[in-house]
Amino acid sequence: MFGPQQRHTSEFKRVKTMKFSLSFQATFLVALLSNALIISDASADVYAYHGVNGERILTDKRIYDKQFKLVKVYKTARKSVTRKPVIRKPAPRTYNASLNRPGKPIDNTFQAVEGLSIAGIGKRSANTFRCGDKHFIQSKQRAYQHTIRNYARQYGVDEALVHSVVKQESCFNEKALSRAGAIGLMQLMPATASYLKVKDPWNPEQNIHGGVKYLSKMLKRFKGNKKFALAAYNAGPGKVVKYGGIPPYKETRHYVKKIMADYQRSKNQEL
């Protein structure tokens, strides 16, 4: 049995404890709700539980225990996060060298000089490409006509066909340099130039010599079939052998078509 003083003291402690519990509960609730609002879309609801011994619990997780009773759920606002769409820039178009180019050719149609670098090797610099300037092309054709004729006769290649190949490859720009490293009038790759024993592919005469020699080899390999030889010049002889003809590459097919069309025009003008 408790005396009056003891009952008073016990009651005072119980009331004080309840006040402290309620005060703590309110403070904790405000803090928890504040934090919940700061949290992004991962925020959770707040659950208030009463325990069998009078406990007051606030938590952001469910309690699956019979000793605790859920008395209230405080809903917290969920913030939606708007993600910005990722914009991917298309890869830059590049121009692969015509002779023994690595990988699958890309679609660079008639403009064989598309993607050619205006920067040379060392102190070399490229001229302005003027593929659409007929007078410029004709003047260049006249300038290299004697050299082309000599090597065309030496290797048994039609002179008009060589002119059409040079026109397609570099627009008669002796300083043309592709991003893949193909050089000069007939766009010789360094490895191909070495194979053809061309000491200086930047030298126009040596470049024409190497290019005509290589074209002659392709014509002999494919028994005089000009389309197959041109496809081999563009995509490599291995691709022509693999597909039994012109490879199914849009760029190579267009390349052959353009050169053959220009070649036929030249032959018709001779008649």
pLDDT of the residue at 200:
96
How would residue 263 be classed by pLDDT, with cut points 50, 70 and 90?
very high
pLDDT score of 249 more than 60? yes
Q: Identify the weakest region by mean pLDDT among 84-98, 144-158, 179-193, 212-226.
A: 84-98
Distance, CA of 29 to CA of 217 (rounded, Å)? 88
Q: Identify the weakest region by mean pLDDT among 97-111, 165-179, 182-196, 207-221.
A: 97-111
Q: Identify the weakest region by mean pLDDT among 37-46, 212-221, 227-236.
A: 37-46
The torsion region of residue 120 among left (phi > 0), alpha (psi -120 to 50) and beta comes to beta
Distance, CA of 131 to CA of 168 (rounded, Å)? 9
Q: What is the mean pLDDT of residues 12-35?
A: 47
pLDDT digits over 109-141, tens only? 333 333 333 334 444 444 445 677 888 888 999
Q: Identify the weakest region by mean pLDDT among 26-30, 66-70, 98-102, 201-205.
A: 98-102
Question: Does CATH number 1.10.530.10 belong to domain 134-270?
Answer: yes
Q: What is the mean pLDDT of residues 20-44?
A: 48
Q: What is the mean pLDDT of the chain?
A: 75
Distance, CA of 264 to CA of 244 (rounded, Å)? 24
pLDDT of the residue at 62:
79
Identified catalytic residue from 169, 174, 251, 270: 169
pLDDT digits over 43-84, tens only? 467 777 777 777 777 777 777 777 778 888 877 665 555 666
Distance, CA of 185 to CA of 268 (rounded, Å)? 24
**Choice between 136 and 148, residue whose per-residue pLDDT is larger:** 148
**Active-site annotation holds for 169:** yes
Q: Which of 35, 49, 48 is nearest to 77 (CA)?
A: 35
Highest mean pLDDT among 45-59, 158-172, 257-271: 158-172
Residue 34 CB neighbours (<10 A):
9
Domain definitions of the chain by residue range: 12-74, 134-270
**Choice between 30 and 220, residue whose per-residue pLDDT is larger:** 220
How would residue 106 be classed by pLDDT, with cut points 50, 70 and 90?
very low
φ/ψ of residue 48, rounded to 5: -105, 125
**Choice between 36 and 88, residue whose per-residue pLDDT is larger:** 88
Collect all residues with Cβ–Cβ distance below 8 Å to 242 and sequence separation of at least 6. none
pLDDT of the residue at 73:
81
pLDDT score of 143 more than 80? yes
pLDDT score of 152 more than 70? yes
Position 103, amino acid: G
